[in-house]
Amino acid sequence: MAPTPNGGDGTSTNLLKPTPEQVTILWLIGGYMAGILILWQMPYLKHLLYPFKLVTIGLHEFGHACMACVSGGKVKSITVDPNLGGLTTYVGNRRTQCLALPAGYLGSSFLGAILVFCAFNVTASKGAAIMLMLCLVLTIFWARNLLAFGICLFFAGITGLLWWLDGGKYLKYFTLFLGVMSCIYSILEILDMLVLRKSNGSDAEQFAEKYGIFPAQGWGFIWLIISLIFLVGAVLAGLAAFKDDGTGNSAGTGK
């Protein structure tokens, strides 16, 4: 008899078939997305997202700052505006500007994708929390206004508290929400630029002015596709990599 592509216990080995625990995470991702989209512009209730928008802007600016450092530049300051704006100032050469400008949207969506990926496993979510706290601490180091300093310190403190509370049982739900928020924020901001033409002064507008090839909306569309790839790739990778959620629950039965 010819061999069949089955596992040793006769069950099909489909890496992307979710376990019951992974189905819960998928429902959470969908629920978080729906909640964020519903609350985004809803009168009064949209203020529930305000602190999360602020910290996401901080991580956006961290993306600029981190890439400026990696490409040989020097970061001078990060500021976060209460009107949901942000600014990173740095000095560097043409290569620094070329790499740092896209790194706001792409960096924050990539960071968000890592948080989503790691949420499929408790141990991985703790590693992601360490990475998140490091990013927030570095943002605090570069912060030059009280709001940027305070919001990053607050979320670093919440992350540390959830790490300690009940063995980190609830940490992955918090980091997952921040991951989804970071991805969605980048995507919605780029869509605003594409649909409502809010490109004046944006990262894409500055990039188009300096390097051409495409108009601001063209670069925004490219960044949008990359951000979507990060998010979808994180979910698929999480499904494939973490069949055991880190608490002893794994796929299969005990028979």
pLDDT (tens digit, 9 = 90+) per residue, 176-209? 999 999 999 888 887 777 666 555 567 777 887 8
Least confident piece of the model among 3-12, 29-38, 108-117, 125-134:
3-12
Residue 93, exposed/middle/buried by CB under 10 A (0-12, 13-18, 19+)? exposed
Cβ neighbours for 206, distance < 8 A, ≥ 6 positions apart:
101
Query: Would you mind telling me the total number of residues written for the chain in this entry?
Result: 255
Give the tokens for residue 220: 């925004």
pLDDT tens sequence across 34-77: 999 999 888 888 899 999 999 999 999 999 999 999 998 999 99
Bridge-based pairing state of the strands 85-91 and 74-81:
antiparallel
| Alpha-carbon torsion (126, 131, 133, 136), positive or negative | negative
**CA pair distance 200, 198, nearest whole angstrom:** 6
Residue 73 and residue 96 in contact, taking contact as beta carbons nearer than 8 Å = yes
CA 146-183-16 angle, to 5 degrees, is 145
pTM, full prediction: 0.86
CA 42/CA 248 separation, integer angstroms: 40
The set of residues, in sequence order, having a beta carbon less than 8 Å from that of 245 and lying 6+ positions away, is: 19, 21, 22, 120, 121, 122
DSSP 202: S
pLDDT at 188: 84
Query: In 3D, which of 54, 25, 29, 49 has the Cα closest to residue 38?
Result: 49
Q: Which of 108, 114, 119 is nearest to 52 (CA)?
A: 108
Q: What is the DSSP letter of 8?
A: T
Q: What percent of the chain shows pLDDT beyond 90?
A: 54
* Integer Cα distance of 192 and 84 in angstroms: 14
| Span 85-104, average pLDDT | 88
Q: Are 63 and 159 in contact (CB under 8 A)?
A: no
DSSP bridge pairs for 154: none
What are residue 143's DSSP bridge partners? 78
Instruction: Enumerate the H helices of the chain as residue ranges.
Output: 20-39, 50-70, 94-100, 103-118, 122-142, 146-164, 171-195, 203-211, 216-241
Task: Quote the percentage of the chain above a pLDDT of 70.
Answer: 87
